[in-house]
Amino acid sequence: MAARFTRARDEYAQTHERMAEIEARAGDLRGRAVELAETELQAFEPVLEALRLPRDDPQRAARVEQARAKASESPLAIAKVGAELAELAAEIVRSGNVNLAGDAITAALLAEAAAQAAGRLVAINLTDGPAVREAVDLARRAHTARDEVLSW
């Protein structure tokens, strides 16, 4: 919304092209977030199924590990969406319509919260490894964007 309304004002003409790009990308990310939310609703069920296997089942540990890795895919993707949205919102605060900064700040805060929460789910499921490191980096990026907008 803030990008669209910035484009409606002539005094921000120098940012119109970039605001159009941000608006389009944010729309794509919103759609992706909805898809991922639907996926996330079912993502942990295979983990629970694997945990229900008898403790002495020789395949139990491997199945739990595989299910946790698979269950971590959607929150990692959510963290990616959140980090990118937080950064786009920070860009709007920097160069968009100042009368809409509050909306962009709100977007950055919500996106950062999503990235942080999703990143924590990845860390809980996997405890270590490349996906955890990526989730930590995404949460850091979102936090940096949050700090930027809060210092505006």
Q: Domain locations in the chain? A: 2-45+72-150
First-to-last alpha carbon distance for the chain, in angstroms, is 19
Residue for token pair 């898809």: 35
Which amino acid makes up residue 74? Answer: S
| Whole-number pLDDT of residue 18 | 97
Question: With respect to CATH, is domain 2-45+72-150 assigned 2.60.40.2470?
Answer: no
Please tell me the predicted confidence (pLDDT) of residue 30: 96
Per-residue pLDDT of the chain (152 residues; tens, 9 = 90+): 999 999 999 999 999 999 999 999 999 999 999 999 999 999 999 999 999 999 999 999 999 999 999 999 999 999 999 999 999 999 999 999 999 999 999 999 999 999 999 999 999 999 999 999 999 999 999 999 999 999 99
